Chain A
Amino acid sequence: MTSVAAGAPLALTADGVSKEYGERQALQGVSFTAHRGERIAIIGPNGAGKTTLLQILAGSLRASGGSVSLEEGSVGWVPQQPALYSKLTVAENLRLFARLEKRPDVPETVERMLDQTGLRDRAGEEISRLSGGNRQRVNIAIGLLAEPSVLLLDEPTSSLDPRQREVLWAFVSGLADAGTAVVYATHNVAEAERFADRVLVLADGELLFSGTPSELEQTVGGIAEAADFESAFVRFLHQRGH
C-alpha cells in the first residue's frame, strides 16, 4: 500500500450529503474529501448507505441535502452489477459509451481501453458470453472511458475469483498511482485494509470514522485487542452501538 503524497490536490468534496427515502434517512450529513491518487474504501454493514453515497457522488442519484463538488476532470462510475448491454460486443459497448461520453477520438479510446483491460482478443464477443470477471473488466473500462479524475467503484470484486481480484487491484492501484482518486465500497474488510489509503466507516447512513486502517485499529485499542482488522472493525461498530 502506498500512501498519498502530502499536498496532493483535492479531487472531490462531499459536504453534508444526506438522502431521505420517505421517513427513512439513508444518509445523514456525510462529509469527506478525496485527493488525487488517493484510494478510499467505504466500509460498513448492509444498509449502511455505501451504494447510496457512491450513486450520489456519481450523479446518478439526487441528494436530499448537502453538496458534492468536483475540483477538475470528471467522475467515472462503476456500479456493482455490470451496466452493459449483453447483446452488444465488448467493443460495441465501449464504442457506445465513448460516444455518449463525447470522447474526441472514439476509435482511439476504444483501442486504449481494450489494451488497458486486456480484452483485445474478446473485443468481438457479446457480453452475454463473457465470464463474470471479464464483464466486470468491461464495466470498469466503461467507467474509465472519460479518463476521470475520480473513479467510483461499488463492490468491484464481488463477482471475481481471488486471481481476478488481484489483477483488478493491481489495475486500480496503477490508476491511483497515475493520479486518479479511487473511492470504492466493499464488504471485504481485508481488501479495505490492504488496498485503501483511507477508510470511511458508514453505519445507518452516518459517517462514523474517516482515517487510515491503522487509525481505526488504534481507535478500538490496537491490533493487540482485536485479532485482525476485521475484528477491529466489528468491535468499532459495537462500540458505536451498531
Chain B
Amino acid sequence: MRWLLLKDLQILRRSPLLVAVLVGYSVVVSLVAGAALSSGPSKPTVAFANLVPSDKSEVALGGRRIDASKYSEKLFEKVDPIRVKTREEAIEKVRSGEALGALVVPADVTQKLQGTLGLSGSGRPTVEVYYNAENPLKRQYVQDTIESTLAEANQAISAEVLREAARYLNVIVAGGKVGLPIVGKVDILGLRRSRAIIEAALASLPEGAPERATLEQVSRFAGLAAENLDLSKPILASISQPVQVKQKVVAGSSSSFSAFAAEAAVVTSMMFVALLLAAGMLALEREENAFGRLVRGLVSRTGLVTEKIVLAALAAFVLTAVMLGILGALLGLDFGRAPLWLVALALGAAAFGAMGVAIGGVTREVRSASLAAFVVSLPVAALALVPSGAVSEGLYDLIRVVSGAFPFRPCLQALDAAISGGELLAPLLHLAALTLAFGVIARVSLRRFA
C-alpha cells in the first residue's frame, strides 16, 4: 500500500495545476474568510443631506433645548456618509452608484418634531430614504442599516421626552422650579405642599365649619394624586424600554459567528479536496487500466480502497490544518485546543475520503467521479447548514437524517466542539461510523470496477 501511496503522491506532484488548485483554493479561502471575518462588515456608503438650517436644529422640550442634529450623528456610526447639500444631489449619488442609499432630513423636521412633542397636531416628522435597487441584496442591507439606526434615534428621542415628562411629574408631585418659554422660571407649589397647606387650614377651622367638608375633599385628592403620580414614574421609565432581553444558550453551540464561519469554510474546503481527490484517484486506476493488473494479487481490493482513503484524508488533513492555522491566527482562536482540532480534522478527512472513494467506485471514470463528487457535495453542505426552525418540524427531521448520512454535519459539529467546546465524542464516533460505511460501499462497488 505504501508504494501505491507514493505513486499517487508522485502523480499529484506531476499534476501542478491540480495541486495548485487544491492548495491555492484552501489557502485563498482561508485568507479571504479570515480577513472578512476579522475585519468585520464594511460600512455602506450613504449620501446624507441635512436640509435643516443650523439655527433651527434645536427642539424645546419643557424648559430644555435639545439639539436634534446629535441624533443624526448616530447614523454615521453604521454608514460611511457622503455629505451633500441638496436632496437632488443625494438622489444623484444613489443613481450614479456612488452611494448605495441616500438619507434626506427635510428642513421642517425639527418644527414637526416640536409640534409632535407639543401635541399641536402638525404631523409627525419624516425623513426621506432613497435606495439603489440595482442589487436586491445591497438594497436590503442598506435598508436594514438605515431602519435600525432610525429606530435607535427614535428610541433616544423618546427616552429624552420621557425623562423630561418624569421630571415634570416630579415637580407636580413635590413642587419646585420649572423654566417656561417667555415666562422664565416659575415656582410650582406641587401636590404634596398643596395638601400640607390645606391640612394646616383645616386644622385652624372650627369643628362644624361648612368649608371643612370641601377642603377635606381637596386634601384627599391632593394625597391620592401625589401617590399615584409617584407610581407613574416607574411606569413611564418602563415605556422607554418596554421589553428587556435576557439571553441564554440552552442547546447547541456557543461559538461566535466568526468561529463558526471559519469552521464552515474549513469543512467545505475539506469536503471538496477529499471527495475530488479520492473519487478521482480511484477512478484513475481504472482509466489507466491499472486496476486489473493491481488486483490480480499485487494489491487487495480492500487495500486499494484503504490506500485511496488514506491519500485523500492525508491531503485534506494537511490542507485544512494549514487553513485552520491561518484562520486561528487571524481570528484569535484558542491554540491550546489545537490537538482537538487535529483529531476532528483527521476523522473528518477520513470520512470525506471514504465517501469520495465510494463515489469513485460507483462512477468508475475520472470525469464522472469528479462531477458526481461536486454534485453530491453541494446539497450535502447546504442541508447540513439548515437551522432548526427554518423549516417545518417534519422536514427538519428528514433533513437531519439525510445530512447525518454524510460527513459534513458531524464534521462541522466535531470541529465546532473542538474549537469552541461542547460534545466532541459523539460527532467523532459518527464520523468513524461513516468512514466505515462508505469504505464498505467503496469495497462492494469494486466488484464491478474492472
Residues of A that sit less than 8 Å from B by CB: 55, 58-61, 77, 79, 81-88, 92, 96-97, 99-101, 126, 142
Asked if B339 is an interface residue, CB under 8 A from chain A, the answer is: no
In the bound complex, CA of A86 to CA of B14 (Å): 10
Query: In the assembled complex, which residues on chain B have CB atoms less than 8 Å from the CB atom of A58?
Result: 292, 296
Do A100 and B299 form a contact, CB below 8 Å, given A60-B450, A85-B7, A87-B11? yes
Do A96 and B289 form a contact, CB below 8 Å, given A59-B297, A88-B11? no
Query: In the assembled complex, which residues on chain A have CB atoms less than 8 Å from the CB atom of B296?
Result: 58-60, 77
Asked if B290 is an interface residue, CB under 8 A from chain A, the answer is: yes
The answer to whether A83 touches B7 (Cβ under 8 A) is: no
Number of interface residues of B (CB under 8 A): 19
The answer to whether B289 touches A60 (Cβ under 8 A) is: no
Residue contacts A-B, CB under 8 angstroms, 21 given = A58-B292, A59-B296, A60-B293, A79-B292, A82-B289, A83-B288, A83-B289, A83-B290, A83-B292, A84-B289, A84-B290, A85-B7, A85-B290, A87-B11, A88-B10, A88-B14, A92-B10, A97-B293, A99-B3, A100-B3, A100-B4
Query: In the assembled complex, which residues on chain B have CB atoms less than 8 Å from the CB atom of A92?
Result: 7, 10
Q: How distant is B374 from chain A, measured CB to nearest CB, in Å?
A: 22
Do A96 and B292 form a contact, CB below 8 Å, given A61-B450, A87-B15, A126-B14? no
Interface membership of chain B positions 291-334, coded 1 if the CB is closer than 8 angstroms to chain A and 0 otherwise: 01111111100000000000000000000000000000000000
Q: How distant is A137 from chain B, measured CB to nearest CB, in Å?
A: 16
Query: In the assembled complex, which residues on chain A have CB atoms less than 8 Å from the CB atom of B11?
Result: 85, 87-88
The answer to whether B292 touches A88 (Cβ under 8 A) is: no
In the bound complex, CA of A179 to CA of B239 (Å): 104
Partner of B3, one of A87, A96, A126, A142: A96
Given contact pairs A84-B289, A85-B290, A99-B3, a sample of 10 additional A-B residue pairs in the complex whose CB atoms are under 8 Å apart: A58-B292, A59-B296, A60-B292, A60-B295, A61-B450, A77-B292, A87-B14, A88-B11, A92-B7, A92-B10
Query: In the assembled complex, which residues on chain A have CB atoms less than 8 Å from the CB atom of B292?
Result: 55, 58, 60-61, 77, 79, 83
Query: In the assembled complex, which residues on chain A have CB atoms less than 8 Å from the CB atom of B15?
Result: 87
Residue of A nearest to B1 (CB): A100
Is chain A's binding surface mostly helix, strand, loop or mixed?
A: loop
Residues of B that sit less than 8 Å from A by CB: 3-4, 7, 10-11, 14-15, 288-290, 292-299, 450
In the bound complex, CA of A77 to CA of B288 (Å): 15
The answer to whether A83 touches B14 (Cβ under 8 A) is: no
Residue of B nearest to A143 (CB): B293
Do A84 and B450 form a contact, CB below 8 Å, given A60-B295, A79-B293, A142-B293? no
Between A84, A85, A142, the greatest number of chain B beta carbons within 10 A of the residue's beta carbon is seen for A85
In the bound complex, CA of A99 to CA of B3 (Å): 7
Q: How distant is B114 from chain A, measured CB to nearest CB, in Å?
A: 81
Query: In the assembled complex, which residues on chain B have CB atoms less than 8 Å from the CB atom of A55?
Result: 292, 450
Partner of B289, one of A59, A79, A97: A79
**Which 9 A-B pairs give the minimum distances between C-beta atoms?**
A60-B296, A83-B289, A100-B298, A59-B296, A83-B293, A60-B292, A87-B14, A81-B289, A87-B11
Q: How distant is A129 from chain B, measured CB to nearest CB, in Å?
A: 12
Query: In the assembled complex, which residues on chain B have CB atoms less than 8 Å from the CB atom of A100?
Result: 3-4, 294, 298-299
Partner of A86, one of B10, B288, B298: B288
Query: In the assembled complex, which residues on chain A have CB atoms less than 8 Å from the CB atom of B299?
Result: 100
Query: In the assembled complex, which residues on chain B have CB atoms less than 8 Å from the CB atom of A61?
Result: 292, 450
Query: In the assembled complex, which residues on chain B have CB atoms less than 8 Å from the CB atom of A126?
Result: 14
Query: In the assembled complex, which residues on chain A have CB atoms less than 8 Å from the CB atom of B14?
Result: 87-88, 126
Between A55, A61, A82, A100, the greatest number of chain B beta carbons within 10 A of the residue's beta carbon is seen for A100
Between B4, B289, B295, B450, the greatest number of chain A beta carbons within 10 A of the residue's beta carbon is seen for B289
Do A85 and B298 form a contact, CB below 8 Å, given A99-B3, A100-B3, A142-B293? no
Query: In the assembled complex, which residues on chain A have CB atoms less than 8 Å from the CB atom of B4?
Result: 100
In the bound complex, CA of A162 to CA of B158 (Å): 98
In the bound complex, CA of A216 to CA of B297 (Å): 36
In the bound complex, CA of A126 to CA of B10 (Å): 12
In the bound complex, CA of A142 to CA of B296 (Å): 13
In the bound complex, CA of A32 to CA of B450 (Å): 25
Residue of B nearest to A81 (CB): B289
Query: In the assembled complex, which residues on chain B have CB atoms less than 8 Å from the CB atom of A81?
Result: 289
The answer to whether A101 touches B293 (Cβ under 8 A) is: no
In the bound complex, CA of A60 to CA of B290 (Å): 11
In the bound complex, CA of A83 to CA of B4 (Å): 14
In the bound complex, CA of A81 to CA of B292 (Å): 11
Residue of B nearest to A62 (CB): B447
The answer to whether B298 touches A97 (Cβ under 8 A) is: yes
Query: In the assembled complex, which residues on chain A have CB atoms less than 8 Å from the CB atom of B288?
Result: 83-86
Q: How distant is A148 from chain B, measured CB to nearest CB, in Å?
A: 12
Q: How distant is B134 from chain A, measured CB to nearest CB, in Å?
A: 48
In the bound complex, CA of A61 to CA of B3 (Å): 23
In the bound complex, CA of A60 to CA of B4 (Å): 18
Query: In the assembled complex, which residues on chain B have CB atoms less than 8 Å from the CB atom of A97?
Result: 293, 298
Query: In the assembled complex, which residues on chain B have CB atoms less than 8 Å from the CB atom of A101?
Result: 298
Query: In the assembled complex, which residues on chain B have CB atoms less than 8 Å from the CB atom of A84?
Result: 288-290
In the bound complex, CA of A88 to CA of B298 (Å): 18
Query: In the assembled complex, which residues on chain B have CB atoms less than 8 Å from the CB atom of A99?
Result: 3
Residue of A nearest to B290 (CB): A83
